[in-house]
A and B are shown apart, each in its own frame.
Chain A
Amino acid sequence: GAVVSQHPSRVICKSGTSVKIECRSLDFQATTMFWYRQFPKQSLMLMATSNEGSKATYEQGVEKDKFLINHASLTLSTLTVTSAHPEDSSFYICSAQKGTGYNSPLHFGNGTRLTVT
């Protein structure tokens, strides 16, 4: 099956620092990857759609200058949380779609648990 790898799985950082999260599709090419955030006991919230070779598309209310997305290759997208604050502490998950048809399901990375102190 399709595998999506996300790294790191857990990170603790100090307020004001930046954190980079990587999302890789290991056995397929993904022109589009998605970044989600999930707070405890809440549903997944789409933050942005990452497009290979072009700018990411951000959802309403998500600050593009704070959550920098780079999709430099067909197998790698990165999310950088800049100047992190305690309220950014959350579970960040990426996903990629294998195939281009609308019947292609999403495959998720194992998530990154970010704690900002």
Chain B
Amino acid sequence: RKEVEQDPGPFNVPEGATVAFNCTYSNSASQSFFWYRQDCRKEPKLLMSVYSSGNEDGRFTAQLNRASQYISLLIRDSKLSDSATYLCVVNTFSGGYQKVTFGTGTKLQVIP
């Protein structure tokens, strides 16, 4: 089983739609989680951290389910500019060593 798994998509949704992505992780000891956005041929950019209590930033809501070991990202009222690949990132500390693992990304295409 991969350490971090995402559905690669693509998710093709119309403007204004609500879309949700999930990301599962295998290491129950993982401590912190993030969503990044990567545009084509560009570096990843931090979208938001994911907190246990869930957090919202405008149209974006992130949630963490430790029991089932997944995180989710919900995008409401999709815009054309939301088209990108969304990367799930899991941070694990073990034996003084930090390991940051990226999912393969989920591609979102918002259609006019």
Contacts and interface: CB of A to CB of B under 8 A. Distances in A.
A105 B98 contact: no
Interface stretch (B13-21, B41-49, B70-78): B41-49
A102 B102 contact: no
Question: Which secondary structure dominates where chain B touches chain A?
Answer: strand
A10 to B, nearest CB: 11
Contacts of A44: 44, 87, 102
Interface in B78-110: 87, 89, 91, 93, 97-98, 100-105
Chain A: interface size category: 20 to 34
Interface of B: 31-32, 34, 41-46, 49, 87, 89, 91, 93, 97-98, 100-105
Interface of A: 32, 34, 42-44, 46, 49, 57, 91, 93, 97, 102-103, 105-111, 113
20 contacts: A32-B98, A42-B104, A43-B87, A43-B102, A43-B103, A43-B105, A44-B87, A44-B102, A46-B101, A46-B102, A97-B98, A102-B98, A103-B31, A103-B32, A103-B49, A105-B49, A108-B43, A109-B43, A111-B42, A113-B41
